[in-house]
Structure 1
Amino acid sequence: MLIGHAAVFAPLMFRTVLVLAQRMNPALEEASAALGASRARTFLKVSLPGILPGILAGAFLVFMQSLDNVSVTLFLGDPGRTMLPLRLFAMLEESLDGRVAAVSGLLILAAALLLVTLQRFGGRSSS
């Protein structure tokens, strides 16, 4: 299931990281190498902080899409286990249940709180 979700939703992660990677100034990495830093140290100290907001945003998008995508979970799921999207879908088919609304509300609240937290602590500076 994990490999299937990764294959389906990897383009979301790729696009968000790619946008920030393209905006990075290549002179920063060149300066790090010129000052004697190894490739690994340059990545950890220069490149990774530059693309970290894209990684976090991509992870958030992938997580939300993974929770919401019933079809991928339906086709890749183990018959012995019931995943949250499938359970919610089954509850909607059976009857209108307040638990579906409650879980949906909690997911929306968690997404909103995560977005606000990322914006507050991981937002880009205005300069």
Structure 2
Amino acid sequence: MRIAVLLATFYSVTSLPTKSADSDSYEDEGDDWECGTDAFTKYMSENQIELDCPKIKKTVNQCCVAHDKCYDDQLGRKHCDDTFCGCLDRVTKGYEVCNKEDGPLFCSMVRQFGAEAYVRAGNHT
């Protein structure tokens, strides 16, 4: 059941919101949670990470921020998704639930549903 809820919640993880060309830089390391597409999906993903591996919440979020930027910069969808999945795998090592469930779920969602988000991210008109 948990996986079904997470799959439904994270359907849009691949459509992560993008910043326009004239907005603030992604390099700001503020506390804004960026794993998700809207308030609800961000809330769900943030709470799941806080529940399963709170000590690495910031580093998981950094993977999401870097993935957003990669899409914005149009560096290649496969490259961006591979880099994102590798980032999640690295930062969740030592945190069993996050490494075996949450990270692979986030990764799967961007791989399955990221095409539209990638196209939208490159459309800065």
TM over 0.5: no
Q: Normalising to structure 1: TM-score of the pair?
A: 0.30
Point out the structure with the larger helix share.
Answer: 1
**Which one scores higher on RCO, CA 8 angstroms, separation ≥ 6?**
2
